[in-house]
Structure 1
Amino acid sequence: MLTVNKLLPQGQGLASVLLKRAATVELDWDVRQKSRFDAVDSQGRQLGVFLPRGTVVRGGDVLVAEDGSMIRVQAAAQPVLRITPCTAHGSPFDLTRAAYHLGNRHVQIELQPDHLKIEPDHVLADMLRAMHMTVEAIQDSFEPEGGAYASGQGHAHHHAHDHGDHSHAEANPPHGEPGHVHGPGCSHGHEHTSAAPTARGKPIGIAIKAAPAPHVHGPGCGHDHHDH
């Protein structure tokens, strides 16, 4: 048995010619969400896969064996339900609504622009049909959404966000590094604040209130007045 203990997500860093030459292994979703499993690749080799716990294998990933050989993963076709809006009186928004209700039930969903896919479940199928969705049982690959906080798995992408003149890096500097320091000539508008201690003894900025308007004397103010 050939031991596999490394995974390259989507064959990252490998030349396309190497990927084409690599052996393949077809795995359904039930197997690919496990970190330890046995399989047989396209060359008939027995594979013993031992990946870090929590690892999810996706179609297109590359497994690396202990002898340096590579095995490209293909998502095997399996029974799934394909969900689309009703062609007669539905709308694309119905797909969003269906995904919302499935998500509330913690169902694993593959999201596509024009359809959803879930694993077979007759109760969910009846619910979706009651929502006027079209539900079709088919054989197809299944790649459910990895979730917003999945680390390096699924369809996660990393984006650098920049807001105006200040990035998140300024607002939340790395631990141990100073943040942006304001001072004369920094070209930023400043509101003068005074420091007041918090419950933890750290100062917070409190805006100084403007001086109150002068008291206006007149009839009924309650003060003694003398004519001059």
Structure 2
Amino acid sequence: MLTLTQLCSTILENARQFHLSLTAEERCRSRLHCHSDEGESLYLKLPRGITLQPGDRLQNEEGTVMVMVQAKAEPTLKVMAATPLGLLQAAYHLGNRHVPLEIHTDYLRLGADAVLQTLLEQRGLKVTFEVAPFCPERGAYHAH
């Protein structure tokens, strides 16, 4: 099992390279046993508070392995509204519940949840179940 501990900003020329598809929840964990898309057993050991983003690169301490992080498709709800105000109101109500939310100009995406789906549908929004990569907004105090 390979232990990955560092974020890498450059591509390591001679390193073995793997891809790691993780759900939004898994990308927030600082310790995680997982497998690369190629089947390699991996252990993530990252500083607390790190949220991995698609495109991030990890490496082992020796610099002999590099792993590219990807967003894994997972059960989600896609929320659309007839008006921009309807979409803003949906974002407001979901934000009041501290729901992780992916925000786009014409739709919102959140993790699949039957209770929230009912709430949104009762507000007249179109809610569609999808299995899709989910990349919620980072916290307000996270630097871009």
1:54 aligned onto 2:54: no
1:81-112 Cα offsets, whole Å, 9 max, x none, are 00011xxxx21221111101110111111111
Alignment gaps of 5+ in structure 1: 157-228
TM-score normalised per structure 2 = 0.89
- % identical equivalent positions: 38
CA–CA distance in 2 between the matches of 1:77 and 1:147?
A: 22
5 Å-filtered alignment, 1:184-199, equals none
Match of 1:99, SS state, is helix
Distance change >3 Å, CA 43–CA 66, structure 1 → 2: farther
Partner of 1:22: 17
1:139 aligned onto 2:131: yes
CA–CA distance in 1 between the matches of 2:131 and 2:38?
A: 25
Between 1 and 2, higher relative CO (CA 8 Å, sep ≥ 6) is seen in: 2
Asked whether the equivalents of residues 62 and 70 of structure 1 are also in contact (C-alpha less than 8 Å), the reply is yes
Asked whether the equivalents of residues 33 and 56 of structure 1 are also in contact (C-alpha less than 8 Å), the reply is yes
1:130 aligned onto 2:122: yes
Q: How many residues align?
A: 141
Partner of 2:67: 71
CA–CA distance in 1 between the matches of 2:118 and 2:38?
A: 43
Structure (1/2) with the larger strand percentage: 2
CA–CA distance in 1 between the matches of 2:115 and 2:41?
A: 38
1:19-48 Cα offsets, whole Å, 9 max, x none, are xx8321111122111000011123432111
CA–CA distance in 1 between the matches of 2:114 and 2:122?
A: 12
5 Å-filtered alignment, 1:115-194, equals 115-151=107-143, 156=144
CA–CA distance in 2 between the matches of 1:104 and 1:28?
A: 23
Match of 1:22, SS state, is strand
